[in-house]
Structure 1
Amino acid sequence: MQRQRHNGRRRGSGLLEFGVAIGLLWLLFAGVYQFGYSFYLYNKLQLSVSNAAMFASMAIYDAGNPSKFDTAIKNMVLYGTPAAGTKTVVPGLTTSNIEIQLNPNAGLPTDITIRIKNYQVASIFAKYMLADKPRVTTLYIGQVICSTC
């Protein structure tokens, strides 16, 4: 029986292959983690905008003070409640990222569009922007009053 002799040039190749495999697996793990985190953030934003649209569709609209209505809706998107809170639904979201559009008919709102604009998601590899996503449009069925009329 002949014994095989190990060539000195092949020493440590297993360690090198292990290092390459760990590097590739780590990169794959980071990509899967980032995709999952981005998906989680988008779902949180979608739920927040949907809840704000449901609240806005039935809230009292004061034609004399529409900023109160807008502030309550923005707080619903930001904090999950009509009153201002301390912790936002997702990190980095501000009132400048929330756009509310009322479509009036004869001075009365008929439908409301709430959208997130220019929200930047910081990922491991790069930052990317959510422009006009998510967006919800709903009919307004609430009561209209005028406090200054």
Structure 2
Amino acid sequence: MIFNIYDFWNNGLVGLINGGDHFEQQLRPGEIRMMSVHAKENHPQFIATNRHIMQGYLDLKDCIWNSKKKTLKGVSDVIKDDTYKVIIATNGYQISTCNVSAGKYKVKMIEGNSGIAELIINTTKNATVNWEVKFK
């Protein structure tokens, strides 16, 4: 099995690692790291959020892939005036469109991290936001 490893503090994909491989990081003095580890799927998938070091555990209420519609849909608790990011491994798909139920949004690929996108949501009040990213 292959895993996506995402570095919360450095906002980037560390890479893909085989489940049987050894993973090691060198830390600078005073540095900490927090990694999310998700088994790589054969379709787009959520791998982290920027809300908390738990990377989605507290704020991401739901996330489902619909293979017929080629959509990744989720529900996130977003805090007013604080940029919220959902990190998505596109896994070979391309983003087509996006929609959110509240606030303003944009989707962008993270430079230097091939196949990793950010869905960025900003609201003017605390909100539970339904979001959907369509792929082709």
Shorter-chain TM-score tier? under 0.3
Considering only CA atoms, is the larger Rg found in Structure 1 or Structure 2?
Answer: 1
Give 1 or 2: higher helix fraction: 1
TM-score under structure 1 normalisation? 0.24
Give 1 or 2: higher strand fraction: 2
TM-score normalised per structure 2? 0.25
